[in-house]
Amino acid sequence: MITEKISWWKSRLTDVDAVFASASKGRVSTLCKSAGGRGVGMIEYGQPRDYNRRANYNSACGARDTRYYADKTGAPPVILLVGAIHAQELEGTAALLGLINIIETGRDFRGEDSALGELIEESGCRLIIIPVMNPDGRARCEPDSMVGLTNEDLRHWGQGRWLDGTLCGWPGCKSVHPIKEAVSFLGAYYNDDGINFMHDNFFNPMAAETAVLLRLAEDEAADYTILLHGGSNCTNVLLQPNYVPPHIREAVRALALRTAELSETAGLPSSVQKISDDTGTPPPSFNLASAIHHICGGVCAVYESNQGLIEKNSYDAETILRLHYMLFEGVIREAHGVRL
Ligand SMILES: [Zn+2]
């Protein structure tokens, strides 16, 4: 089932191309080619920083001074926003394309004026946006959003179908990796080689897309990286990364609290995850969010959004979009460390 198109909801690869083509303030480039030969595009605002780098992050930590990796004295923060790692989770993509249009024109695709662009300019931050990290998955996913669809639709487009035609599901979809040869329909979780970037081998990446994202975070010494995901009909929430030092957990919580405050003020639902040291057995995965922290030292977290399924706790498309704007405002303000 494919729901009726919402005119302002833009999440197709052709939408990304069109938004990039019309951008004049941002600089557009292609990070890499996907497994299926599609370009992974990004747009950047603000100038690159010169960090006087002498060592990688790990080595600088070993030298007991992270300035050997990135001397950030006086440098405004770098924020990296990444959409559609799982390409049936298109809430982030729609919001990021809206954000780009706000920065470029002052309003989003609903025609709503927004002060987010001015806030970004005032903050002086360097903002890097990747609307679709997984173009292969996006090309495979026919719906433009999951709003109005069922959990079964989500599983089909997201995790795909095993060789016997039954639906893959979470977390079983992670039990074969790469999954390509084990499925009759490859879901949008994966690139064309059947790789799920969230659970790549980060010490020897299986996917070029994962490798290039890690390199970008490292090169930029990203202060905040937000991986935009969908989480069925959850209340939108920032997830705590599993393997990071306490100050990063605190920073994720501070961002979550700030975003919740902004959301509540706007009359929108919010949720803040507790910090927990309960690792359990088997231990939680060292996923992309943890990996990005360890390569650049920055805050990195997964943001899970409600997807508007016809199930309990369904949000409409506009609420989903506005909640992302609250997150974007939160991260800009939090990265600055002062109330702009
Ligand atoms: Zn996801």
pLDDT single digits (tens) 278-294:
678 888 999 999 999 99
Q: What is the pLDDT of residues 286-339, one digit of tens each?
A: 999 999 999 999 999 999 999 999 999 999 999 999 999 999 999 999 998 754
For CA atoms 215, 40, 187, 193, the dihedral sign is negative
Nearest-angstrom CA–CA distance, 123 and 115: 12
pLDDT interval class at 5 (50, 70, 90): confident
Q: Flag whether pLDDT at 247 surpasses 80.
A: yes
Gap from CA of 88 to ligand 1 centroid (Å): 8
Provide the mean pLDDT of the chain: 95
Does some domain include residue 159?
Answer: no
- Of 93, 18, 3, whose CA–CA distance to 320 is shortest? 93
Q: Flag whether pLDDT at 184 surpasses 90.
A: yes
Does some domain include residue 125?
Answer: yes
Nearest-angstrom CA–CA distance, 173 and 194: 11
Look up residue 133 and give its two tokens. 């990290």
Query: In total, how many domains does the chain have?
Result: 1
pLDDT at position 97: 98
Do residues 187 and 263 touch, judged by C-beta distance below 8 A?
no
Does some domain include residue 158?
Answer: no
Alpha helices in the chain (DSSP H): 13-22, 57-62, 91-105, 116-123, 135-140, 151-159, 208-220, 246-265, 288-296, 317-336
Gap from CA of 158 to ligand 1 centroid (Å): 9
pLDDT at position 163: 98
pLDDT at position 153: 97
pLDDT at position 285: 93
Q: For 167-247, where are the E strands, in sequence order?
A: 183-186, 224-230, 237-239
Gap from CA of 121 to ligand 1 centroid (Å): 30
Give DSSP secondary structure letters for 238-268: EEPPSS--HHHHHHHHHHHHHHHHHHHHTT-
Does some domain include residue 340?
Answer: no
Gap from CA of 89 to ligand 1 centroid (Å): 6
pLDDT at position 281: 85
Q: Flag whether pLDDT at 150 surpasses 60.
A: yes
Nearest-angstrom CA–CA distance, 303 and 292: 15
Gap from CA of 119 to ligand 1 centroid (Å): 28
Q: What is the pLDDT of residues 112-139, one digit of tens each?
A: 999 999 999 999 999 999 999 999 999 9
Gap from CA of 210 to ligand 1 centroid (Å): 14
Q: Which domain holds residue 261?
A: 13-144+195-335
Does some domain include residue 160?
Answer: no
Gap from CA of 27 to ligand 1 centroid (Å): 27
Gap from CA of 188 to ligand 1 centroid (Å): 10
pLDDT at position 85: 98
pLDDT at position 110: 97
Does some domain include residue 108?
Answer: yes
pLDDT at position 1: 52
Pairing of strands 237-239, 183-186: unpaired
Gap from CA of 284 to ligand 1 centroid (Å): 16
List the CATH number of the domain containing 79: 3.40.630.10
Gap from CA of 290 to ligand 1 centroid (Å): 15
Q: Is 113 helix (H, G, I), strand (E, B) or coil?
A: strand
Gap from CA of 63 to ligand 1 centroid (Å): 36
Gap from CA of 196 to ligand 1 centroid (Å): 9
Q: What is the pLDDT of residues 54-71, one digit of tens each?
A: 999 999 999 999 999 999
Gap from CA of 52 to ligand 1 centroid (Å): 35
Does some domain include residue 5?
Answer: no
Gap from CA of 68 to ligand 1 centroid (Å): 34
Do residues 154 and 88 touch, judged by C-beta distance below 8 A?
yes
Q: Is 95 helix (H, G, I), strand (E, B) or coil?
A: helix
Does some domain include residue 79?
Answer: yes
Gap from CA of 329 to ligand 1 centroid (Å): 22
pLDDT at position 280: 81
pLDDT at position 277: 72
